[in-house]
């Protein structure tokens, strides 16, 4: 399965798991097993807010684009993500949402 990403500033998190030709996206299962080779399932045919394209099967491989939410401090790898070739079942690696805020030391009160 080939997953491409479309980065978008969004406050919601994204979790994706692959099982065969099915994706579980934030707890909802989307099974693309019936899609024949060479066919495209239009974006509008799939009730998924995270899907940014139609779903294609080319050479037996499912290809699609998912929205990739990120925070205001998103790292470059999230703002300009690389496609992911998912060959194993299980969690899909999603680029990091944001860079953690730097920790600042509390200011000490001057001694009296």
Write down the pLDDT at residue 86. 97
Q: What is the pTM of this model?
A: 0.85
DSSP result, 17-29? EEETTEEEETTEE
Over residues 33-81, the pLDDT tens digits come to: 999 999 999 999 999 999 999 999 999 999 999 999 999 889 999 999 9
Residue 111 confidence class, pLDDT cut points 50, 70, 90: low
- CA–CA gap between residue 10 and residue 41 (Å, rounded): 26
Exposed e or buried b per residue across 25-51, where buried means at least 16 C-beta atoms within 10 angstroms of its C-beta: beeeebebeeeeeeeebeeeeeebebb
Range 72-95 average pLDDT: 94
Q: How would you class 56 by CB atoms within 10 Å of its CB: exposed for 0-12, middle for 13-18, buried for 19 or more? A: middle
Place of tokens 């030391």: 105
Strand ranges, E, within the chain: 2-9, 16-19, 22-25, 28-31, 40-41, 55-58, 61-70, 84-85, 90-91
């Amino acid at each position: 399965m080939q997953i491409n990403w479309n980065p978008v500033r969004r406050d919601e998190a994204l979790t994706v798991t692959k099982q065969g030709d099915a994706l579980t996206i934030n707890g909802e299962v989307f099974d693309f097993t019936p899609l024949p080779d060479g066919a495209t399932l239009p974006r509008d045919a799939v009730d998924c807010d995270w899907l940014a394209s139609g779903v294609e099967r080319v050479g037996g491989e499912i290809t699609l684009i998912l929205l990739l939410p990120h925070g205001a401090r998103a790292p470059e790898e999230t703002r300009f993500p690389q496609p992911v070739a998912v060959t194993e079942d299980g969690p899909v690696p999603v680029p990091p949402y944001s860079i953690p805020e730097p920790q600042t030391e509390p200011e000490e009160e001057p001694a009296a």
